[in-house]
A = this chain, B = another copy of it.
């Protein structure tokens, strides 16, 4: 029965779409079985014919949001000069995506969705979320030897963890209290992890896409 599969996929799509809209709009706190079903135009119990529980449904949105996030990042950093500067811009854009959609941050890093053991694919997407959003930039930096290959994994890990922490404190604990202060700290954090000196060149480089800049090698922790 091919029709059945098509219809089932369509139905799932309706619920997933509804869930995504609520998550991006009112956020995770507004997620409920009845809310989602309303938005999808069905009764709340119908949902259980297609998903085993509400977590199952909610976490299916992760893939779509990761795609959207990567688009968001590349859109926001298109004009940046390649190299460390663009890597830094991508990380900042990644941060801004989750500030714009706090519900998606909760979904990715906060909410405990019960039995994760069965969904290694989703866990993998989440764990590699930042790395994938900056994939091209890392490759570029490696290719041009702007970052020692031996350090990349350490740096990626440091960035992955510290940016989750930074966002957690800001979104969950209002620390720091203002957005501009938050962006300042984010910038400082990225700079200090990547070993970028606060420099006037940082402000000029946006309009200077000719050369690849800021080699990291000279300022990295030595082996």
Contacts and interface: CB of A to CB of B under 8 A. Distances in A.
Nearest to A175: B127
Interface in A104-125: 109-112, 116-117, 123
A116 B176 CA distance: 12
- Chain A contact residues: over half helix, strand or loop, or mixed? helix
Interface residues of A, number: 38
Nearest to A222: B219
A109 B168 CA distance: 7
Interface in A151-192: 154, 157-158, 160-166, 168-169, 172-175, 185, 188-189, 192
Contact of A165 (B116, B165, B220): B165
B192 A154 contact: yes
Contact of A162 (B110, B112, B165): B165
B169 A185 contact: no
Q: Among A109, A161, A164, A188, which residue has the most Cβ atoms of chain B within 10 A?
A: A161
Q: Among A112, A174, A195, A222, which residue has the most Cβ atoms of chain B within 10 A?
A: A112
Interface string A29-53: 1000000000000000000000000
A157 B192 CA distance: 10
A221 interface: yes
A181 to B, nearest CB: 13
Nearest to A192: B154
B221 A168 contact: no
Interface string A186-208: 00110011010100000000000
Q: Which 10 pairs, one residue from A and one from B, show the smallest C-beta to C-beta distance?
A: A164-B165, A161-B165, A161-B162, A162-B162, A165-B165, A154-B192, A161-B166, A127-B175, A195-B221, A164-B168
18 contacts: A109-B173, A110-B110, A110-B172, A111-B172, A126-B173, A126-B175, A160-B165, A161-B166, A161-B169, A161-B189, A162-B162, A163-B165, A164-B164, A164-B165, A164-B168, A165-B168, A168-B168, A221-B221
